[in-house]
Amino acid sequence: MKAYILGIAILSFVSCDNHTEDTPTNGPTSTSDKSGNLLVYYYDVDKPTVLNINNIDYSSKIIDTYESSGYCSNSNYNQYKIQIKVGQKYILHASNSLVIWDLKDISIQNENDCKEINLNTSNITSAPKSGIGFTNNFESGMRSITVNVDGSLFGTLSETTTNPNAPGAMPSSIYKETNIGTHSYTGQSENGHTWAGSVITKNGSTTMIELIKYTALPISSSTSNIIFYSPSYNNIKVFMENTYIGTVLSTYETNTLDFCIRNWVVSIIKPLGNYNYTASAGGHNWSGIVNANLNSGCIVIQLK
């Protein structure tokens, strides 16, 4: 009988040892049936596209909206809550196209606690990376745009030639990874528009620059900006001196203000002088001569 009791005592002692090793760090009492929540958002970086917590995919739970605080108390974010156990430590892995976050020892101490995790430049765990990109934001009528960064060819933005409102339409964009810091850039369209400036890139984020008519540099005093638009017809292909110069993608009312910077008009910068033009769309044809006689001015031709 005594040996039997001793055996039970030894067995009990071993079981107690194992239980001690699995006990959560916040106390000896098991809390595995108690839980709370995590909310994950990002700030000042490109949106993370991957979110795993303890190797479980929660990529759809990343919050897009940035607020300085208050996610947990805002019921609008309940759908993004990720349930975790009290006292258990979690590993969070997230990434975007540039950088990685590997955050360890994430935990909550009390039932129904809610912890907010902000993925930003300060807690990136991979090597620093940034990106720079350029887009024409669906603009047409300038033809292609050649882009240089830090004095070297970066790429070319192609002309938008289809309706930007069509399903699946995407603006022309170019993008590359680059060193973090200040970079100078220039742009030159086939139709004579120019851009120049500098940009500071940041860790974990892509800085996008729009090369559109509105952001182009002023033209020189010996040139004119010749504009073609239509109040009635779309997809008008325009030629000057028998050379294609762009497509009028959409109509504009005749009382539209400042045609010189409108997205879907054809715009070409030409030295002062006379130029022949033709245009056509859906069986409709136009032709004429334009006198570019306005120094640094904008000459508007209506195709009706």
Would you write out the chain's pLDDT as a tens digit for each of its 304 residues?
333 333 333 333 333 344 333 333 443 334 568 999 999 999 999 999 999 999 999 999 999 988 877 999 999 999 999 999 999 999 999 999 999 999 999 999 999 999 999 999 999 999 999 999 999 999 889 999 999 999 999 999 999 887 777 787 788 999 999 999 999 999 999 999 999 999 999 999 999 999 999 999 999 999 999 999 999 999 999 999 999 999 999 898 888 778 888 888 999 999 999 999 999 999 999 999 999 998 888 999 999 9
Cα 257 to Cα 148: distance, rounded to the nearest angstrom: 32
Decide: 104 and 91 in contact? Cβ < 8 Å.
yes
Please state the pTM of the whole predicted model: 0.78
What are the C-alpha distances in Å from 188 to residues 18, 41, 158? 71, 38, 12
Q: What is the CA radius of gyration of the chain?
A: 31
**Strands 145-149 and 152-157, sheet pairing:** antiparallel
Decide: 84 and 38 in contact? Cβ < 8 Å.
yes
**Does residue 79 sit in helix, strand or coil?**
helix
pLDDT of residue 23: 37
pLDDT of residue 32: 65
Take residue 40 and report the two structure tokens written for it. 């994950």
Decide: 92 and 14 in contact? Cβ < 8 Å.
no
Domains and CATH numbers, the chain: 34-123 (2.60.40), 130-215 (2.60.40), 223-302 (2.60.40)
- For 195, other C-beta atoms within 10 Å of its C-beta total 19
pLDDT of residue 6: 34
**Does residue 236 sit in helix, strand or coil?**
strand
- Of the candidates 93, 103, 147, 124, the one whose C-alpha atom is nearest the C-alpha of residue 205 is 124
- Of the candidates 288, 144, 295, 167, the one whose C-alpha atom is nearest the C-alpha of residue 219 is 295
End-to-end CA distance of the chain: 110
pLDDT of residue 174: 97
Decide: 266 and 248 in contact? Cβ < 8 Å.
yes
Q: Give the CA-trace dihedral at 274, 240, 143, 155, to 10 degrees.
A: -80
